[in-house]
Structure 1
């Protein structure tokens, strides 16, 4: 009963915030989003500690002022990302390098887009769907089923499809590739899969992209969005990642997971203020 009341409150809050914020012009909406980002940064002490610890691991040479600045900007970006769900259709995005993707899709094997929680990752599926691509994203179901449905309706409005993590997800991932679809895999968070070096420190990373690429001979593309100063976005199809294939599947999966992780790290180093530092990324002592 308590959970049901909590869930209904969350849904009501979503609609109230949406109603009021859409009354404002775009520049004011982003100012409001930034304000909430600053408030959350100051109030949520536990998550702030994780953020600062992660930044100290990633940039040991940086001073406290630099670390604090990146952390605060990261919170502002996350706040903007969640607020942008309320007006996702109005977001302006420029696609760069799409022709590389088209070349690979002509081979008929599908494409894995390796991505990360940078800028607004929800834009990936929307823009590909708008452009007429057959695209699937992978997501975890939220405990609040009503809010989960609202969010997934936003994600799928322009033709993108969602595969939910669970018992049947592996089968659905394979099915998507056999349809010559684009499969978006956000692969920057901790999972208990394969040990990697990330920002010069041991941790673990998801092996999904490496496993699927090796098993089905599917190309892997590094793709992500970047927020500009005016809150427009650039969607980069950066490059096809060169993976190792020696015949030793176990070692190849480990090596290729490291290759993918290193490519993700390069992007984060370019745009540290836009990455999701709030996740507990390093759990190996």
Structure 2
């Protein structure tokens, strides 16, 4: 798998950008009919329940949400090329806020979501001089895991797995930013139930918990891709977790705040969020 992905990456890097864009969209469109009907219905139902749109629009958003993975995958495969010309692919709004937050030398937490090309998001921060630790989930296939982490490192990120909490705190103490994706459903034994799209939703508390424990600021980070393939990375903050006697209330309040920020971005760019993820699975359990 590793050698196969490296070979495909080499081919994608040889393509002109316009051809790579076409290839990405074609790949997503061709694979959409292969998505199980059960997963399509899940996405459709979640979109209807969250956004209250018509059936036709819900189906369009569901399809677009999946098809975008084609261009996203091709962009990851083209990291060796993109890393040399990152300014042609990503512009960052609010970078100075993040730089100011890191100037204290204590590090920070970046709370992000599965919206836009979140893999490229970490690379854009790293290429802009932000010392970023990307927190990753280990892939089942060892070759695929080796490939994606090699490419994440190539574009400037330091990668640690979700189990590497001690390493995260150690790196943050050295002034690094810890990037956490916080919009997926944790297990029913983890997380905290708060409001998301007007529904009780189990949400991970890692960003708020880490920031409170280390007394560092939190920044939100959302990404949007326009029709020309240019990404806008929007940074906001700094935000501080409360330090009252009620630690759980402090963490709950910040997690709710961050979740609402993610919701606002999704409402603005609904086609770019990962609607095929079973976001309310643990609530049903």
State if a TM-score over 0.5 links the two structures: yes
RMSD: 1.8
Query: What's the offset of the Cα at 1:20?
Result: 4.3
1:50 to 39, 42, 51: 42
Q: Separation in 2 of the partners of 1:245 and 1:129?
A: 30
| Corresponding residue pairs, total | 273
Partner of 2:71: 80
Query: 3-state SS of the aligned residue for 2:68?
Result: helix
Could you report, residue by residue, the CA deviation over 1:56-84 in whole angstroms, capped at 9, with x for unpaired residues? 2211x210111011112111212211121
Query: Contact 2:224–2:232 at 8 Å: present in 1 too?
Result: yes
Query: What's the offset of the Cα at 1:19?
Result: 4.6
1:202 to 177, 200, 210: 200
Partner of 2:133: 136
Q: Separation in 2 of the partners of 1:230 and 1:47?
A: 29
What is the 5 A alignment of 1:168-247?
169-191=164-186, 192-247=190-245
Partner of 1:6: none
TM-score (norm 1): 0.89
Partner of 1:165: 162
1:261 to 243, 259, 262: 259
Query: What's the offset of the Cα at 1:117?
Result: 0.7
Query: What's the offset of the Cα at 1:159?
Result: 2.9
Partner of 1:104: 101
Query: 3-state SS of the aligned residue for 2:118?
Result: coil
Q: Which runs of 5+ in 1 are unaligned?
A: 1-9
Query: Contact 1:78–1:119 at 8 Å: present in 2 too?
Result: no
Partner of 1:281: 279
Q: Separation in 1 of the partners of 2:238 and 2:267?
A: 19
Query: 3-state SS of the aligned residue for 2:115?
Result: coil
TM-score (norm 2): 0.89
Q: Separation in 2 of the partners of 1:270 and 1:251?
A: 29
Query: Contact 1:114–1:186 at 8 Å: present in 2 too?
Result: yes
